[in-house]
Structure 1
Amino acid sequence: MRYDFSAIEDKWQRIWNEKEVFRTEEASDLPKFYCLEMFPYPSGRIHMGHVRNYTIGDVLARLKRMKGFKVLHPMGWDAFGLPAENAAIKHGTHPAKWTYENIDYMRDQLKKLGFSYDWSREIATCDSSYYKWEQLFFLEMLEKGLVYRKKSKVNWCEGCQTVLANEQVIDGECWRCGKEVVEQEREGWFFKITQYAEELLSCIDSLKGWPEKVLTMQKNWIGKSVGAEIEFPIDGRDESIKIFTTRPDTLFGVTFMSISPEHPMCMSLASGTAEEAKVREFCERWKRIPKRELQMEEKEKEGVFTGAYAINPVTQEKVPIFVANFVLMDYGTGAVMAVPAHDQRDFEFAKKYSLPIKVVIQPEGTELSPDSMEEAWEGPGVLVNSGKFSGLKSRDAKEAIVKFLEKEGIGRKKVSFRLRDWGISRQRYWGTPIPVIHCDKCGIVPVPKEDLPVELPLHADLLEGGRSPLPELDEFVDVECPQCGGRAKRETDTMDTFVESSWYFLRYSCPHEDSKPLDSQSVKAWLPVDQYIGGVEHAILHLLYSRFFTKVLRDLGYVEIDEPFTNLLTQGMVLKDGAKMSKSKGNVVDPDAMIKAYGADTVRVFILFAAPPERDLEWSDTGIEGAHRFLTRLWRLVTENLDDLKEAKCDHELLTSASEQDKRLKALRQKTHQTILKVTEDCEKRLHFNTAISAIMELVNELSGVLAEEKTKTERDKGFWAVIKEAVNAVLFLLSPMAPHITDELAELMGEEVPLVNRKWPVADEEVAKSDSVQIAVQVNGKLRAKIEIMRNATEDEVKQMALGDERVKRHTEGKAIKKVIYVPGRLINIVVGGK
């Protein structure tokens, strides 16, 4: 029988669909498992990154079904936003047409890969039945003071013709198109994510199932700093500059001050001084420089004296005020006290501009001198030159100095965050309309909830350069004010696409609920997501926003959970020739072409086998051919022995007697049950599908060897075929989450009940899996010198003789007196030796 993968895969996909095999069982009392992969933008075909992401999720979903869980495994489309809109512009079509055509095409692609999705729960975020509820959330957040509108400096991408959130600016460039981002002043809508900064940070410690790398990235982005806010009076004026510092223990070491070029006092400080023109030129030049925040530490420190001085409030010393390029208005107060002896940035700046350096913290056991310092000392120590605080350890001094500042009314303890509020206004067409109305008489008026959804007009055509048609669409813009009934204008900004993806995982629990956004019982039954899978590039954007939105919806009474995702797997990229696949590099591998050439099962097995999921995977033509050879070999092994396998019975007595009489059959049974243990552990706990597949391949090799060895025998008894069938069944069951089509086909040919996803996962007999021998460590004076294989029932004397007879051990014991032998059965033996 030929392995006709195309016919087999078409057959089983049709059967699974007709029988609704993957429909979620909600009423069941079984434990739940919610498995979710990040849903795709429908801006084109699926790529190998998608295939890897979704195959990993599918293995877990199928495995958990077989392990006795009710499983929620949905799929949908992140359909609004720039990716779909830009692709539509490029192809000269309407975003709606482009999006829905791509959804149809990509859905078929995913089905061809045999993924176990419950397609009855499919959602698309561009459907008004979805974004209607998002608009409701907006209005309820507006009522709670979690949404506000303000005029501010924003990140503007000329390429995408829209505002971007801080998180969407990577090294000064747009996260989507890569073009330079510039600052503009605009009015826009903001979500008050900063109100949840403390909770977003503190809850990170509860996310035990998340990669440490992602948790660190979120902690750094939230950026909590505990310190002091201090007032520095300006010499000769009735004004002061407010600074924030995490090092109040260094306050006595301030020798100058630095303010951001965007600080509102910049020009007023320089006004009327000889430095005014230089300050103006410096600030103007600053405005033209892209804010590459991640590179600020590497940037050469530059500044200009303002001509003004501040007074250190604890020493009463006059210190010059500089405008400096390393101070950002977004952080703290936009002004910092400069302590060059104990801050490296300040040290470099002071050296460059010949400013004084004053040591106020001495590290224990060392005496620092400003003249000999080559770098700042930023560590702890004992205070010196610090008035009554000298002699205190820096840790104690921080608290003592803050208390002093508060008592004197010149400062206070302060907590600062790097996180800024989420700007959600986008000046693009393809997004969720923001449900407010602007009335000259009443101001900003929310759209009445009963009038939702505010539907995006699908007949509108995009304007030149991707500009939104909404501001020029009179039938959309011109409305009646809900409060006064007068003429008013509808808001024409749409929401950032990350709003849609910040709650979609909740909607999957009740996608057909049409009377409210979420059904509380369904949400309670399924959330949080047990396993979430997606790329690490979403560590800040999507994952942080989803955590925020979950907490907001909890406080609005829609959910009870604090966090959306219990476990997170960030899979690596799929590379070709050492680089990320892209059309520009000409190294794209088309999933459709691979399915046509090798079959979906081969693609799935290769992409799981080539690397652990958290690491990058290098595409290999020889690798996918190897995966295909393995499945073809399995096909032949079963089909060439089909009659005997169909008749064989895996009777316990037959299995036991056969393995007792034949060492090779005993070894095969042992291998079978060891493989069940390993594959279960690797897939369920470690998510290392590559080693699981490797173990299955080893079992197939063992099977092939036994069958080949027995080929010359004219008769094979029932016990022989019982052991063979037990091993074949184990292979099919263990491999079925990875290669579901071929395993269902072979199981059906053998007369098994199918589909296998509805069968119970095999359970190993640990007694059978036990080896007759065990490896133990041999130590000499506590140091590992060898490992030896012993029989499990070996006596201590036998183990001692084997250990002493090992050549590696002899080199460390010869000519020395054996003082003691310590034996830990089944684990180690330690030989203690002394002099001759």
Structure 2
Amino acid sequence: MGLSRTDRPIAARTATRLRPPGVAAAEQRAGTPGGKLRDMSGPDARAAAATASYDAAAVEAKWQARWADAGCFKATADERQRKFFNFDGGPFPNGALHMGHVRTFTLGDVMARYRRMCGDAVLYCFEFDAFGLPNELAANALGIAPEELTRRNIAQMTRQMIRLGLSYDWDHVVTTCDPAYYRWTQWLFLKLRERGLVYRMPAELNWCPSCHTTLAHMQVDDGCCWRCDTPVESRKLTQWFVALGRYSAILSDSLERMEGFSPRVRNVLQGFIGKTPGLEFDFVIRGHPEVTLTAFARAEYVDAVPSYLAVAPGHPALADLLTRTQADALRPMNQRRRAQAAAQPPLDGFDTGLEAVEAHTGVRLPVFVARHVDPAFATGVEIGYPAADPRARQFAERHKIACAPPNAGSPLKGRPATHYRVRDWLVSRQRAWGTPIPIVHCEACGEVPVPEQALPVRVPILTPNLPPGGLAAVPGFAAAQCPCCGKPARRETDTLDCYFDVVWCFLACANGLKPDFKFQASDFADWTPVDWFHNGLDSLFYMHLYRFLGQVLHEMAVLPEPEPIRCYIGHDAVLLDGRKMSKHHGNVVSPDAVIEKEGADVLRVHVLWSANPLKSVEWSQAGLQRAKRLLLDVWKLVTRHALEVRTTADAPPMDASAQPSPLDKAAARAARRVTEFLERYQYAGCLQEIQTLIVRLEAEAERLSNRPSAPRDSFANGIRCLVTMLAPFAPHMAEELWEEIGGKDLVARAPWPILATDAPHAAMPKNPARGQREAAAP
């Protein structure tokens, strides 16, 4: 499908035309055109540089321009190289980057740079998760269109990312609001529908009265909307769902074989899936022989004696069993349960006066309606075991239910059953700034999918201050012709949840959405599966959605294996005064202000050195100053001795039979230790080792100053080792120093030092976070 220039991914267009910030200022300081700084090649200039202050703005602008001109981060699949697909979970462009973003992206960038230096063919990219209600509401408040605000924010974030020195291949960065992207989001929706995995039905749903939209279960936080903290209400609406639950068993069972996921990550995902083995029992209601209730009991409870049957307020059988008075009492209970779904379940309920008889043993139990029973889990009916289950005991005490002796033994015998707590995925939203659902409703033909050749169904031009109601409030959008019979019909006005937009984002990035993209196996063959998927741990549940899609696409022969991600790495949050830094909390620190004052490399080192990734980072000026001191120490050490390192650049290699010097051993040990920490995702340890090597090299420099005739080879090799190891963490300064000491080409392309010492390069461990001991940051 051919695309116009305006349909090209916005991120690629933006990154292409943006000149790295600071280039003009660097040119002015240097007094030369083209972004070149003053000539630093002469010995006098280098000696002066040893005492001059480090000009971060000039140096960083210079190397950002050089990287862009050289195209050194463009991914090229080469069968002679091991491929490494490094993917960052992308930002929602609702403003400028904050320090949480900086941590996410610098952590990913370190791994990408390191793997390139190890000789891998690296694809490093991300997506802009660009649709969503926050930008729709923010645009209305500003009196502009959501698309204008979104694209303005994307351009701002792109400039910030370039300024941070992030080594993305911008040709592979995609944006979910580009028609070239959401055309295939709609295609995917229809393919899932063809396979019976998308359905539409009425259901009691979470509703945010402030945002005027439904919410998925995972978007309700302690009974409130995840975005605006408004208490959630319950509404019965006809909505679109993805049958996520059908894959619960296979996703749960295969998760334990995912060695690239740490035990912590696997445990969280297993908890999200909620695999619950147990037994099922059939009960007939006395006086209502036509009604059978199937109850579920968890395996750890069934050896106890049951005391009662607890039925969820929303169970369909209650309509035939309750009196009018009881039914009236049920309605507000349903509302309260929905509003407090994520909180600790309350103990409200009532005795129905009914008695249930177990079909095989004749055991009789009183029937209660209990608000804590989830109608969407298992059968919606639980057996109360007060002797084994603390919540059942509390419910029994509150409602004065007689409890059996704890050691009486269970008289019930059921059939084995396993249920899962993960629910089917609600994917429709009542907003305008989102991917239109490609369905037409025809009175004669019913639900009709939009033909593939007519995709995408484009987002209409949204005027400022659009009233609530989503696409249904956009004049003319709903009017359509039925693709089957040609009669007047109504276009679906709900849009897709932004989680659905990004569920395939890493696949889009793998291809870059080339003009001949067809969502087929050959489009992804070069780079999939993802080797290193990185984002914040607060977004971990996305991984379940990605794995679900991987299973489906494998069945469709689009992916060669069912697991689309080999290794998932997460990190904890950046805190300010003990609270997570976010726009939502209004406690962000601007990266731009820090970069203006201290430079991007200082910011990167501070964020990386403050704590290892699985620990939270408390933002502090003291940590920023420590990072600044480290980099100034490197700058002074290397520039002071750049000439002698240059003069040893072409010296003959040391005799292979000669014993390595103590400094050679120290540098090799540092390289091995930094490599080990990198492979174990412990970047704070890397920087501590670099600091130790600086101290060792400074001591050697002092010793050599008193011995003018002593060989300098080991010292020069140690300096080169230091600069190359610094490159993933402070890439701008490392490039400048590499040039100063006579390094060939770019340090970003230099071999990793442990390879040069003939030490074996360890392959990426199956689980880099396994057994990680999170010591306090040094």
Q: TM-score range by the shorter chain?
A: 0.7 to 0.9
Q: Say whether the 8 Å CA contact 2:337–2:371 is kept in structure 1.
A: no
When residues 145 and 358 of structure 1 are mapped into structure 2, their CA distance, relative to the original with a 3 A threshold, is: same
- TM-score, length-normalised on structure 2? 0.86
When residues 350 and 711 of structure 1 are mapped into structure 2, their CA distance, relative to the original with a 3 A threshold, is: same
Alignment partner, residue 441 of structure 2: 438
User: After alignment, is 492-501 or 89-98 more displaced?
Assistant: 89-98
Q: Say whether the 8 Å CA contact 1:75–1:118 is kept in structure 2.
A: no
Q: For residues 400-799 of structure 1, what are the structure 2 equivalents within 5 Å?
A: 401-402=413-414, 412-464=415-467, 466-468=468-470, 470-540=471-541, 542-582=542-582, 587-649=587-649, 651=651, 654=654, 666-683=661-678, 685-713=679-707, 715-717=708-710, 719=711, 721-763=712-754
- Match for 2:173 among 122, 125, 134? 122
| AA of the residue aligned to 1:425 | S
When residues 288 and 688 of structure 1 are mapped into structure 2, their CA distance, relative to the original with a 3 A threshold, is: closer
Offset from partner CA, 1:407-449 (integer Å, 9 cap, x none): xxxxx54332212211111000111100010111111111111
When residues 656 and 532 of structure 1 are mapped into structure 2, their CA distance, relative to the original with a 3 A threshold, is: same
In 1, Cα distance between equivalents of 2:338 and 2:96: 34
- Match for 1:321 among 367, 378, 391? 367
Q: Say whether the 8 Å CA contact 1:672–1:699 is kept in structure 2.
A: yes
Alignment partner, residue 308 of structure 2: 256
Alignment partner, residue 183 of structure 1: 234
In 2, Cα distance between equivalents of 1:203 and 1:530: 18
Offset from partner CA, 1:694-739 (integer Å, 9 cap, x none): 11111111111121233344x234x2x2111011000001111111
| AA of the residue aligned to 1:67 | C
Offset from partner CA, 1:619-678 (integer Å, 9 cap, x none): 221221121122122212122222222112475765889978xxxxx3222211111111
Alignment partner, residue 102 of structure 1: 153
Percent identity (aligned): 33
Greater Cα radius of gyration, structure 1 or 2: 1
In 1, Cα distance between equivalents of 2:257 and 2:504: 20
Q: CA deviation at 1:285?
A: 4.0
In 2, Cα distance between equivalents of 1:602 and 1:223: 43
| AA of the residue aligned to 1:702 | R
Gaps of 5+ in 2: 1-48, 761-778
When residues 316 and 284 of structure 1 are mapped into structure 2, their CA distance, relative to the original with a 3 A threshold, is: same
| AA of the residue aligned to 1:690 | A
- TM-score, length-normalised on structure 1? 0.81
| AA of the residue aligned to 1:678 | R
| AA of the residue aligned to 1:308 | L
Q: Say whether the 8 Å CA contact 1:41–1:84 is kept in structure 2.
A: no
Alignment partner, residue 217 of structure 1: 268
In 2, Cα distance between equivalents of 1:342 and 1:584: 42
In 2, Cα distance between equivalents of 1:491 and 1:556: 27
Q: For residues 18-167 of structure 1, what are the structure 2 equivalents within 5 Å?
A: 18-167=69-218
Q: CA deviation at 1:476?
A: 1.9
Alignment partner, residue 284 of structure 1: 332
Q: Say whether the 8 Å CA contact 1:569–1:614 is kept in structure 2.
A: no
In 2, Cα distance between equivalents of 1:653 and 1:338: 79
Q: CA deviation at 1:295?
A: 3.2
Q: RCO higher in 1 or 2 (8 Å CA, sep ≥ 6)?
A: 2
Q: CA deviation at 1:609?
A: 1.0
Gaps of 5+ in 1: 363-367, 369-382, 387-397, 403-411, 661-665, 770-836
When residues 424 and 83 of structure 1 are mapped into structure 2, their CA distance, relative to the original with a 3 A threshold, is: same
When residues 655 and 48 of structure 1 are mapped into structure 2, their CA distance, relative to the original with a 3 A threshold, is: farther
When residues 19 and 323 of structure 1 are mapped into structure 2, their CA distance, relative to the original with a 3 A threshold, is: same
In 1, Cα distance between equivalents of 2:251 and 2:396: 37
In 2, Cα distance between equivalents of 1:329 and 1:696: 56
In 2, Cα distance between equivalents of 1:252 and 1:71: 57
Offset from partner CA, 1:724-761 (integer Å, 9 cap, x none): 10110000011111111111111112211131121211
Alignment partner, residue 376 of structure 2: 330
| AA of the residue aligned to 1:727 | G
User: After alignment, is 170-179 or 729-738 more displaced?
Assistant: 170-179
In 1, Cα distance between equivalents of 2:391 and 2:585: 40
| AA of the residue aligned to 2:325 | A
Q: CA deviation at 1:214?
A: 2.5
Offset from partner CA, 1:181-230 (integer Å, 9 cap, x none): 11100011111111211111112112212232332222122222333332
Classify the secondary structure of the residue corresponding to 1:705. Answer: helix
In 2, Cα distance between equivalents of 1:115 and 1:339: 56
RMSD value, Cα: 2.5
Q: Say whether the 8 Å CA contact 1:77–1:123 is kept in structure 2.
A: yes
When residues 763 and 246 of structure 1 are mapped into structure 2, their CA distance, relative to the original with a 3 A threshold, is: closer
Q: Say whether the 8 Å CA contact 1:133–1:516 is kept in structure 2.
A: no
Alignment partner, residue 286 of structure 2: 235
- How many residues align? The count is 708
| AA of the residue aligned to 1:744 | E
When residues 607 and 317 of structure 1 are mapped into structure 2, their CA distance, relative to the original with a 3 A threshold, is: closer
Alignment partner, residue 395 of structure 2: 349
In 2, Cα distance between equivalents of 1:450 and 1:7: 50
In 2, Cα distance between equivalents of 1:476 and 1:233: 52
Classify the secondary structure of the residue corresponding to 1:730. Answer: helix
| AA of the residue aligned to 1:566 | R
Alignment partner, residue 45 of structure 2: none
